[in-house]
Amino acid sequence: MNDTRRHIHLEHDGKLLLVNLDGSGPAIPRMGRTSTTEGSYSIRLPTPEEASDMGLTWNTKRTNRFRLGEDMHEIIVATPDITWPEGWAWKDAVISDNQVDPVARESVYRTLHRVVSKVVIINPQKEVLMAKVTRGFFTGCWTLPGGFVDYAEHPRSGAEREALEELGIRIKIPDPQGESGVETEGEDIALVREEVFTPDGICWLSFTYLCEADIPAEEIVPKDDEIEEARWFNKDEALSVAVSLFDIEAIQKFVTN
């Protein structure tokens, strides 16, 4: 097995430090450029030693580890101690230039947030509506209604859409400030959480909203290929079956006994 290769991902204000193969830099990618030789590249992330030789210091956020092919890579993700990264690469330009080392592109990919949106639906009996899913990260487990936020979609609207798609129910989450486009009455109660759960560095950003709704069980129609069952639980029951840390925290904060 090959030794672990070490790199540093120095990012500030949307800019990333890249270097040439000899370690000189900054190097600038060009969006849309293709490689003339399969597997070749001319721009890469620096090593910590190369960044230090440039006179840079930094504050480390975390270290990500992932495998590409046969090689294991260790990426120090850090913020440089500089005011403005003049001449550095814009992060958005990295992914579409095939002359950039796949390790650098993978590191950028892993530092992008995965945005999910969920909703704690509570009925007049203070019960929580949960669904047992048949696919995805929590297959076979009970979760709050919700999922990935679509492109150009507000997280609040995403939670309403997911409730309709998964359970066939129409809910309206209070939006007194009109953040999602239309003002609706009610108290705006939301929990926003960020977490990296695994060593590879995938970062999750979760929006969980509170919605009070009196929905009879017969009106809940689980989506055949996604939801096995939907059920109302009291708070203690909901906490005992929930598996997502985001769900557990939201239920604890939003639901009173």
State residue 257's pLDDT score: 72
Homologous superfamily of 113-254: Nucleoside Triphosphate Pyrophosphohydrolase (3.90.79.10)
Q: How many other CB atoms are found less than 10 A from the CB of residue 218?
A: 6
State residue 132's pLDDT score: 95
The pLDDT of residue 245 is above 90:
yes
State residue 37's pLDDT score: 67
Q: Check for a shared fold between 5-110 and 113-254.
A: yes
State residue 96's pLDDT score: 86
Residue type, 246: F
State residue 42's pLDDT score: 93
- The residues near 43 (Cβ < 8 Å, ≥ 6 apart) are 18, 19, 20, 21, 27, 29, 97, 99, 100, 101, 104
Measured distance CA(25)–CA(86) in Å, rounded: 12
State pLDDT tens for residues 12-43. Answer: 999 999 999 999 999 999 888 876 666 689 99
User: Is-contact 156 179, C-beta < 8 A?
Assistant: yes
State residue 35's pLDDT score: 66
Lowest mean pLDDT among 50-59, 218-227, 234-243: 218-227
Q: In terms of pTM, does the model score above 0.95?
A: no
| Percentage of residues in the chain having pLDDT higher than 70 | 97
Q: Which CATH class is domain 5-110?
A: alpha beta
User: Is-contact 170 224, C-beta < 8 A?
Assistant: no
Nearest to 99 by CA among 142, 146, 36: 36
State pLDDT tens for residues 116-137. Answer: 999 999 999 999 999 999 987 7
Q: Identify the bridge partners of residue 64 per DSSP, sorted by sequence position.
A: 75
State pLDDT tens for residues 169-196. Answer: 999 999 999 998 888 898 999 999 999 9
Q: How many other CB atoms are found less than 10 A from the CB of residue 239?
A: 15
Q: How many other CB atoms are found less than 10 A from the CB of residue 161?
A: 16
State residue 137's pLDDT score: 79
In the chain, domain spans: 5-110, 113-254
The angle at the Cα of 118, spanning 116 to 120, to the nearest 5 degrees, equals 160
State pLDDT tens for residues 225-235. Answer: 889 999 999 99
The angle at the Cα of 239, spanning 233 to 241, to the nearest 5 degrees, equals 75
State residue 235's pLDDT score: 97
State pLDDT tens for residues 135-152. Answer: 877 889 999 999 999 999
State pLDDT tens for residues 55-93. Answer: 999 999 999 999 998 899 999 999 999 999 989 999 999
